[in-house]
């Protein structure tokens, strides 16, 4: 065992300032010092008083002698406690914001894409005038149909209107989500993504 090894081990225990067994130190120092030499160094440090030895059954644990550290500054401790409280508060706030962002992300991921919304809207806009015309003809009795066919047609129109409302609400929700980080107006966003609104195509939702 060399004096250099002993000094190195003592410095390591001072820097870490936590209890270790000989095997812990052996592994932490990447086996650069043999266990026999390491044990002799620990015995020397204990005899010098720079390291304290604690025995737990058959296990010996070594820790740097706390008496060698300068006395704690109570004012500094209070400042550190205040900093810990501030950091804890900031951490909780960050965790809360992260959960909110994660929730919003999941909501957006589960929604239709802009391309899918546009496709659905186009399909509905194409289907609705046909149903409106058919309904009008039925209401004016221009086409003779059975009661059953009229009920089926009316039911289909109502289903289409429900889907129309659902898709429009979905599109608006997506736009509102994008608008939170978009620097311009909603009108500008709609123009940029090429989204056609009901008003632009003259589509009027029936009252059901």
Three-state SS across 110-154?
A: HCCCHHHHHHHHHHHHHHHHHHHHHHHHHHCCCCCCCHHHHHHHH
Query: Where among 68, 97, 121 does a domain terminate?
Result: 68
Same domain, 195 and 115: yes
Summarize the confidence of residues 98-127 as an average pLDDT.
77
Distance of CA 28 to the CA centre of its chain: 35
In this prediction, residue 112 carries a pLDDT of 66
Residue 108, SS3 per DSSP: helix
Alpha-carbon span 135 to 143, nearest angstrom: 10
Q: Decide if 118 is inside a domain.
A: yes
Alpha-carbon span 39 to 8, nearest angstrom: 13
Give 166's pLDDT tier (boundaries 50, 70, 90): confident
Same domain, 124 and 194: yes
Q: Decide if 15 is inside a domain.
A: yes
**Range(s) of the domain holding residue 9:** 3-68
Q: Decide if 167 is inside a domain.
A: yes
Number of domains in the chain: 2
Minimal CA–CA distance to 33: which of 23, 21, 18?
A: 23
Query: Where among 15, 46, 68 does a domain terminate?
Result: 68
| Most confident residue range from 38-47, 78-87, 114-123, 145-154 | 38-47
Q: Decide if 197 is inside a domain.
A: yes
Minimal CA–CA distance to 168: which of 136, 201, 192, 131?
A: 201
pLDDT in tens, 81-109: 788 888 888 888 888 888 887 777 777 66
Same domain, 127 and 196: yes
Same domain, 139 and 64: no
CATH assignment of the domain containing 18: 1.10.10.10
Q: Tell whether pTM > 0.75.
A: no
């Amino acid at each position: 065992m060399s004096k250099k090894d002993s000094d190195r081990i003592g410095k390591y225990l001072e820097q870490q300032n936590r209890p270790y067994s000989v095997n812990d130190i052996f592994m932490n120092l990447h086996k650069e010092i043999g266990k026999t030499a390491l044990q002799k160094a620990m015995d020397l440090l204990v005899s010098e008083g720079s390291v304290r030895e604690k025995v737990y059954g058959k296990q010996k644990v070594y820790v740097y002698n706390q008496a060698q550290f300068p006395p704690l500054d109570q004012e500094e401790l209070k400042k550190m406690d205040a900093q810990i409280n501030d950091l804890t508060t900031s951490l909780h706030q960050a965790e809360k914001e992260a959960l909110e962002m994660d929730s919003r992300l999941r909501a957006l991921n589960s929604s239709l894409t802009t391309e899918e919304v546009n496709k659905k809207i186009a399909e509905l806009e194409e289907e609705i005038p046909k149903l409106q015309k058919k309904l009008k003809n039925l209401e004016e009795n221009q086409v003779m149909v059975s009661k059953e066919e009229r009920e089926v047609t009316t039911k289909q129109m109502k289903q289409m209107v429900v889907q129309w409302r659902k898709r429009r609400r979905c599109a608006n929700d997506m736009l509102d989500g994008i608008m939170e980080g978009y620097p311009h107006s909603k009108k500008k966003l709609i123009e940029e993504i090429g989204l056609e609104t009901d008003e632009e195509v003259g589509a009027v939702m029936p009252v059901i």
